[in-house]
Amino acid sequence: MSTNLSDIRRSYEQGALHRRDLDPDPIKQFEKWLSEAIAAGQVEATAMFLATATKDGRPSGRVVLLKRVGVDGFVFFTNYQSQKGQEIESNPQVEACFFWDKLERTVRVHGRVTRASETESEEYFHKRPRLSQIGALASNQSNPVENRQVLEQQFADLEKRYENNDIPRPAHWGGYVIAPETIEFWQGRPSRLHDRLRYVKHSDTWQIERLAP
Ligand SMILES: Cc1cc2nc3c(=O)[nH]c(=O)nc-3n(C[C@H](O)[C@H](O)[C@H](O)COP(=O)(O)O)c2cc1C
């Protein structure tokens, strides 16, 4: 048995990407595209697929949310002891990919990850809704858990323990910054002749090249 999906196809006709339209700074270009995706009503426009790999090259992927972008890179928050956290700690090379179907665009970011500052992690943790803070404490992310009830009991216990107090950020929860080395902007075009323009970092300057689709 198999499911044949070969008839599902769509022609991409929303726009075009020319080199002359690009900002010399890829972070500014990214911010422009992200705000256009949000304005177009893209659901979860800040969601990115994040690929990590073990030291010996076994890949894994999942979705995380971008929480800040700046000159230092792309920031997301997670559990440092999760699968992605462990892989990043032994191999800091990652790739993140945004897909904005409303505008038929993707952005691919390749780079090296470092931990965000304690101050940034602390500030963001306490800005999250209280129940999300408790959730972070209750979840031993990526580890097997006996059943859902165990998880809910841990959550309830913690809710009670911190009833009238601030919830402390666990030391194993915080931010990661992807310092980009390449950033590719992809705009879908008809006949599969898509536009792909990639910024490549050479010391402190960015060079732009067009890639075949
Ligand atoms: C839209 C969306 C946003 C998510 N955002 C995050 C996030 O910001 N941080 C995070 O740790 N997990 C996030 N998750 C859950 C992850 O996809 C994943 O299940 C979890 O981080 C465990 O991944 P790992 O076992 O590979 O480490 C998100 C999932 C979805 C669907």
Question: If you measure from the C-alpha of residue 63 to the centroid of ligand 1, how many angstroms do you get, rounded to a whole number?
Answer: 5
84 lines ligand 1 (CB under 6 A): yes
Percentage of the residues of the chain whose pLDDT score is greater than 70: 100
Question: What separation in Å is there between the alpha carbon of 96 and the centre of ligand 1?
Answer: 13
Name the E strands within 80-194: 93-100, 105-115, 173-187
Q: Which residues of 91-118 are buried (b: 16+ CB within 10 A; e: fewer)?
A: bbebbbbbbbeebbbbbbbbbebebbee
pLDDT at 211: 98
82 lines ligand 1 (CB under 6 A): yes
pLDDT tens track for 135-167: 999 999 999 999 999 999 999 999 999 999 999
Task: From the CA of 52, give the closest atom in ligand 1.
Answer: 26
Separation in Å, CA 137 to CA 77, 85, 141, 166: 14, 16, 10, 12
- Ligand 1 contact, 54 CB (< 6 A): no
| pLDDT tens for each residue of 175-196 | 999 999 999 999 999 999 999 9
Question: What is the pTM assigned to this prediction?
Answer: 0.97
Q: What's the pLDDT band for 120 if we cut at 50, 70, 90?
A: very high
Tell me whether residue 192 is one of the annotated catalytic residues.
Answer: yes
Average pLDDT, integer, range 37-50:
98
Residues 21-43: pLDDT tens digits? 999 999 999 999 999 999 999 99
Q: What is the mean pLDDT of the chain?
A: 97
